[in-house]
Amino acid sequence: MSDNQFRICPESGLQFHKPAEMLMRAHAVVAVVILLIGGIAALLVTLTRWPAIHLLPADRFYQLLTMHGTNMLIFWMISFEIAVLYFCSSTLLRCRLATPRIAWLGFALMLIGIIVNNAAVASGTASVMMTSYVPMPANPNFYLGLILFAVGALIGCFVFLATLVVAKDEKTYEGSIPLVTFGALTACIIAVFTIASGAIVLIPTWLWSLGYINHIDAAMYRIVWWALGHSSQQINVAAHVAVWYAIAAIVFGARPLSEKVSRVAFFLYIAFLQLASAHHLLVDPGLSAEWKIFNTSYAMYLAVLASMVHGLTVPGSIEVAQRAKGLTNGLFEWLRKAPWGNPIFSGMFISLIGFGFIGGISGVVMGTEQINIIIHNTIYVPGHFHATVVIGSTLAFMSLTYFLIPTLFRKQVAFPGLAKWQPYLFGIGMSSFTLAMMGAGTLGVERRHWDMAFTNSALGFEYPASAFTLMGIMGISGVVAILGGAIFILVTVVSVFFGKSVESESSYGISATRLMRADPVVVPEGGHGAAGKWGFAAPGTFVLALFFLAIFVLYYAVNWKYLASVWPMS
Amino acid sequence: MSEETTNSGEPVRVPFMQRVLDNPFILLFIGIVFPTLFYIIWGIMEIVNIPIAP
Ligand code: HEM
Ligand SMILES: [Cu+2]
């Protein structure tokens, strides 16, 4: 192994293995291109669901909804995540990437899969939406594209695992792997289960679409498909939580309040998060209440507990780090004086708050068998998951990208003024978009529905005017969020392909060496409480957590009350 | 593997949970077996047991 295989980034101290670096760049670039395609589809879909505009005809609407769902949820997220996996293994463990050639094979398969799938959808013969429920048939290439992509991504996961083995053998780190890498490992493990389930369900479906198999049971399909559909969201959650920890370390030099607690929380994800797939089947006949309740309530609450631990320890660790720097006045000086103009931080913090308050709380409501029925299959559902996967994961990945532009791509961030505003436009636009959807869903507006006015339909239904207003607010906020997304793409593309190289200094980022250690000793000088108040190391975060809990309990109770009123029993 | 040495050369026992968390392949095993058993296999058993309409 020659030494010139590595380069050290002068700003961050990160060490990049050159073949790994090329792979990360390739995956990140493909991811952003997909985000652009998915974003254009988002605009057209949004303008159709905005009742005053109602842009597309029905068939185009379903075609673009399919294109939006698969590109965003599967291709954008997983392509970016493979780059994150390579970063968290090779770069953070300062070791060579195992088998770069095989990793390139995985990349090629993913890329071919994306093209094959998109071509099928573009031809208009695969408007089955991302769930592609049987017996609704799609062009066989729709499934083939997904299968090729899945195999490619699985190869990426195994390259990641192999790199962990290489690092251990070559002793490039001591003790345990760093927490951020542990988070990436969690994402990788969930990905292996997800992708395997995808293969189990999609290969027979592909053969069925070709005529080699004559029947696929719809109920079976739904069980196995949701092991893919739900778990893939949990790859995103594990990955964006790892990114939160990374950014807290990058921007503040923060260390986790307790490595042990954070690792156990990730462990709860590994063991229980995927079982919550059952919440998609809460109204399916044929499955028992025991199966539903065990998987959604018991298992899911352990996973929710883990998310609350992360949601507490990330801001808590930032608070402790800020207090140690002397920002000790009152409860919130540490937060007020945080670098709100730095999109790496602002994006990450909006991601954390939006994921917790909007995505998390609505997720628990939807995962509760009884109250789920109020909003099942309404537009509340996309409201919930745009809060998790868009405000949570996508915005966290955008923030990380602002760090990767100078360190991985060695370019200065173009249009820094626009970049500064981007997380706010995207995050606030999306927050209002999701809340409006959740409001409309509570009034019963369906998801995936081309015309909520039911014009000329035999079995019509009239929604209250407020439902139309909420859908209008959804449309306006969606356009604002898309503008934020467009700025992100503009900034990254211009920086990466046309930007000025970074010479000795860049505007963002401080030493990232903290990322590379597992800290067994986490107590700062003088103990955790030293800079805190009233015996708490992070009193501000504690107050935030109580506020969160109050809203959570209130909203949960309101839903039960509402259930009692929509479902009178005498 | 479960033993590490301190500076003085004395072996220290790594706690059980830490050994689990430090082994990616045990974690991979748990992360696949749990959902396969409780979600997929149990769920499929229930679907299979639905009687066919006459
Ligand atoms: C500014 C950005 C975005 C806007 C305005 C937007 C808007 C929409 C709209 C209006 C729908 C249709 C809801 C319905 O009629 O049921 C939708 C569906 C969806 N969106 Fe987005 N979206 C955005 C970004 C994203 C991102 C980043 C992801 C994933 C990472 C995503 C994933 C999905 C999925 C999975 C669906 C469901 C598709 C289906 O029902 O088959 N969206 N989005
Ligand atoms: Cu789900």
DSSP string, A117-138: HHHHHHTTS--STTT--TTS--
Ligand 1 atom with least separation from CA of A236 = 30
Residue of B nearest to A231 (CA): B35
The closest residue, in CA terms, to atom 43 on ligand 1 is A42
**A533 CB near ligand 1 (under 6 Å):** no
> What is the pLDDT tens value at each position of chain A, 570 positions in all?
445 788 887 767 788 999 999 999 999 999 999 999 999 999 999 999 999 999 999 999 999 999 999 999 999 999 999 999 999 999 999 999 999 999 999 999 999 999 999 999 999 999 999 999 999 999 999 999 999 999 999 999 999 999 999 999 999 988 899 999 999 999 999 999 999 999 999 999 999 999 999 999 999 999 999 999 999 999 999 999 999 999 998 888 888 888 889 999 999 999 999 998 998 998 888 899 999 988 887 778 888 899 999 999 999 999 998 988 888 888 899 999 999 999 999 999 999 999 999 999 999 888 888 889 889 999 999 999 999 999 999 999 999 999 999 889 988 889 999 999 999 999 999 999 999 999 999 999 999 999 999 988 888 889 999 999 999 999 999 999 999 999 999 999 999 999 888 764 444 444 455 565 555 444 445 555 556 666 677 888 888 888 888 888 888 888 888 888 876 555
Q: For chain A, count helices (H), then strands (E).
A: 19, 2
Do A267 and B27 make contact, defined as CB atoms within 8 angstroms? yes
Q: What is the pLDDT of residue A518?
A: 54
Nearest CB among B22, B25, B44 relative to A176 is that of B22
> Do A173 and A254 form a contact (C-beta atoms < 8 A)?
no
Do B31 and A277 make contact, defined as CB atoms within 8 angstroms? no
**Separation of CA A408 and ligand 1 centre (Å):** 29
Q: What is the pLDDT of residue A285?
A: 87
Domain spans in chain A, listed from the N-terminal domain onward: 13-229, 259-450+462-565
Do B46 and A286 make contact, defined as CB atoms within 8 angstroms? yes
Which helix (H) or strand (E) segment is B11 a member of? Answer: strand B11-13
Three-class secondary structure of residue B4 per DSSP = strand
Cα dist. B40→A109, A120, A304, A368 in Å?
27, 30, 21, 20
The closest residue, in CA terms, to atom 8 on ligand 1 is A42
Residue A56 and residue A50: Cα distance in Å, rounded?
Answer: 11
Angle (CA) A429-A435-A438 rounded to 5° is 140
Q: What is the pLDDT of residue A371?
A: 87
Q: What is the pLDDT of residue B34?
A: 94
Ligand 2 being an ion, which residues bring their Cβ within 5 A of it? A 230
Q: What is the pLDDT of residue A503?
A: 65
Pocket test for ligand 1, best of A386, A398, A474, A483 (most atoms within 8 A of CB): A386
Kind of pairing, strands A15-17 and B11-13? unpaired
Pocket test for ligand 1, best of A68, A480, A487 (most atoms within 8 A of CB): A68
Q: Answer whether A264 touches B (CB < 8 Å).
A: yes
**A382 CB near ligand 1 (under 6 Å):** yes
Which residues 201-260 on chain A approach chain B with CB closer than 8 angstroms?
Answer: 217, 219-220, 223-224, 227, 231
The closest residue, in CA terms, to atom 27 on ligand 1 is A390
* CATH match for A259-450+462-565 among 3.40.640.10, 3.40.47.10, 1.20.210.10, 3.40.50.720: 1.20.210.10
Residue A206 and residue A118: Cα distance in Å, rounded?
Answer: 16
Cα dist. A535→A9, A349, A525 in Å?
40, 25, 15
Q: Is A239 left (phi over 0), alpha (psi -120 to 50) or beta?
A: alpha
Do A291 and B30 make contact, defined as CB atoms within 8 angstroms? no
Do B21 and A161 make contact, defined as CB atoms within 8 angstroms? no
ipTM over 0.85: yes
Residues of B in contact with A267 (CB under 8 A): 20-21, 27
Shortest alpha-carbon distance between residue B10 and chain A (Å): 16
Residues of B in contact with A176 (CB under 8 A): 18, 21-22
Q: Which two tokens stand for residue A509?
A: 């980022």
Ligand number with the minimum distance to the CA of A226: 2
Instruction: Considering the domain delimited by A13-229, tell me its CATH architecture.
Output: Up-down Bundle (1.20)
Instruction: Give residue B1's pLDDT band: very low, low, confident or very high (50, 70, 90).
Output: very low
**A389 CB near ligand 1 (under 6 Å):** yes
Residue of A nearest to B50 (CA): A286
pLDDT at B12 over 80: no
Nearest CB among A190, A219, A271 relative to B47 is that of A219
Please return the burial class of A20, using the count of CB atoms within 10 Å of its CB with bins 0-12, 13-18 and 19+.
Answer: buried
Q: What is the pLDDT of residue B7?
A: 54
Residue A441 and residue A420: Cα distance in Å, rounded?
Answer: 33
Please name which of A465, A480, A488 lies closest in space to residue A432, comparing C-alpha atoms: A480
Which residues 297-316 on chain A approach chain B with CB closer than 8 angstroms?
Answer: 299
Count of CB atoms situated within 10 Å of the CB of A215: 8
Q: Give yes or no on whether A13-229 and A259-450+462-565 have one common fold.
A: yes
Q: Which two tokens stand for residue A113?
A: 């899969």
Please name which of A174, A156, A46, A169 lies closest in space to residue A477, comparing C-alpha atoms: A46
Please name which of A50, A152, A59 lies closest in space to residue A105, comparing C-alpha atoms: A152
Three-class secondary structure of residue A411 per DSSP = strand
Three-class secondary structure of residue A8 per DSSP = strand
Do A219 and B36 make contact, defined as CB atoms within 8 angstroms? no
Pocket test for ligand 1, best of A32, A66, A390, A473 (most atoms within 8 A of CB): A390
Running DSSP on this structure, what letter comes out for residue A256? -
Rounded-to-5 percentages of helix, strand, coil across chain B: 55, 10, 30
The closest residue, in CA terms, to atom 38 on ligand 1 is A69
Nearest CB among A270, A291, A295 relative to B27 is that of A270
What type of residue is A494? V
Q: What is the pLDDT of residue A328?
A: 85
Residues of A in contact with B20 (CB under 8 A): 267
Q: What is the Cα Rg of chain B in Å?
A: 21
> Do A255 and A522 form a contact (C-beta atoms < 8 A)?
yes
Q: Give this prediction's pTM.
A: 0.93
Outline where A379-509 has alpha helix (H). 380-385, 395-407, 416-442, 465-498
Nearest CB among B25, B34, B40 relative to A224 is that of B40
Q: Which two tokens stand for residue A189?
A: 């493990």
Please name which of A221, A63, A68 lies closest in space to residue A139, comparing C-alpha atoms: A63
pLDDT at B3 over 70: no
Cα dist. A126→A147, A161, A335 in Å?
15, 35, 48
Q: What mean pLDDT is reported for chain B?
A: 83
Do A223 and B43 make contact, defined as CB atoms within 8 angstroms? yes
Ligand 1 atom with least separation from CA of A35 = 27
Q: Answer whether B29 touches A (CB < 8 Å).
A: no
pLDDT at B53 over 90: no
Running DSSP on this structure, what letter comes out for residue A253? -
Outline where A284-342 has alpha helix (H). 289-293, 300-324, 333-336
Residues of B in contact with A220 (CB under 8 A): 44, 47
Instruction: Give pLDDT tens digits for B13-52.
Output: 888 888 899 999 999 999 999 999 999 999 999 999 988 8
Residue B27 and residue A190: Cα distance in Å, rounded?
Answer: 10
Q: Is B12 left (phi over 0), alpha (psi -120 to 50) or beta?
A: beta
Three-class secondary structure of residue B15 per DSSP = coil
Nearest CB among A185, A272, A281 relative to B24 is that of A185
Shortest alpha-carbon distance between residue A274 and chain B (Å): 6
